[in-house]
Amino acid sequence: DTAVSQTPKYLVTQMGNDKSIKCEQNLGHDTMYWYKQDSKKFLKIMFSYNNKELIINETVPNRFSPKSPDKAHLNLHINSLELGDSAVYFCASTTTGKGGELFFGEGSRLTVL
Amino acid sequence: AQSVTQLGSHVSVSEGALVLLRCNYSSSVPPYLFWYVQYPNQGLQLLLKYTSAATLVKGINGFEAEFKKSETSFHLTKPSAHMSDAAEYFCAVSDGTSGSRLTFGEGTQLTVNP
């Protein structure tokens, strides 16, 4: 009965590969996010979708492509992985009435070798 | 634009001592303020939030925070630290609307010494 679930939890891959991370929430929320946490624990927003529509698109390399097939799912595909992409990627969700409070998944730790 | 600054990237206290983690915010609209905790290898968990109601907010695990508009602060306190409180703490700000971004501070690592 996990509220926000991400897969995979760990991902180790070589430079130049393409990989995807999936996120699903069963909270009935209408807004989902991807955040990146770097090695210094700093959290930076990458993307946000509201009812499948992209509403926040930060300055992120276009090798990163989010997709939201429905409001309960948000995936992140990364092409041509680079060493600097190594980080923990967090999915989060919220909805109207939560005052901006986000509910986070447990994170997906990506290591690029 | 909104931002938060957490003063002190590392705070160390003794078990049983007062915990004080500092957060100052900047916002052009009335802010919604949050404290999240992150335990090792886990996601972020909400400790407490301020959403324009009472200025003293009580959260989980004995933590509380006070919103002070005149000082643009939202410091987190706990009267008596426990070993299990050792974690990374993040202050965050949003404008409270669905679809808005939650902007985080750089985090404060709390160490609790026996």
Query: Minimal Cα–Cα distance from B8 to chain A, Å?
Result: 14
pLDDT surpasses 90 at B111: yes
Cα distance between residue B59 and residue B67, in whole Å: 13
- A50 and B99 within 8 Å at the Cβ level: the answer is yes
User: What's the residue count for chain B?
Assistant: 114
**Quick one: pLDDT at residue B51?**
86
Task: Average the pLDDT over A14-35 and give the result.
Answer: 96
What Cα–Cα distance (Å) separates residue A49 from each residue in A6, A29, A70?
A: 16, 11, 10
> Whole-angstrom distance between the N-terminal and C-terminal Cα of chain B?
41
Per-residue tokens: A79: 């092409």
Bridge partners (DSSP) listed for residue B11: B110
Task: Average the pLDDT over A89-96 and give the result.
Answer: 91
Question: Which of B42, B45, B90 lies nearest to residue A43, judging by beta carbons?
Answer: B90
> In chain B, whose CA is at the least distance from the CA of A38?
B106
Mean pLDDT is highest, among A44-53, A98-107, B5-14, B88-97, for: B5-14
Q: How confident is the model at residue A1 (pLDDT cuts 50, 70, 90)?
A: low
The helix/strand/coil state of B83 is helix
Cα distance between residue B16 and residue B61, in whole Å: 14
Interface test with A, best of B3, B5, B41, B44 (most A CBs within 10 A): B44
pLDDT surpasses 80 at A63: yes
Residue with token string 């990627």: A89
**Quick one: pLDDT at residue B87?**
97
What Cα–Cα distance (Å) separates residue B21 from each residue in A80, B9, B49?
A: 40, 10, 15
pLDDT surpasses 80 at A55: yes
The helix/strand/coil state of B62 is helix
Please return the burial class of A28, using the count of CB atoms within 10 Å of its CB with bins 0-12, 13-18 and 19+: exposed
Cα distance between residue A16 and residue B44, in whole Å: 30
Interface test with B, best of A7, A36, A41, A51 (most B CBs within 10 A): A41
**Quick one: pLDDT at residue B77?**
98
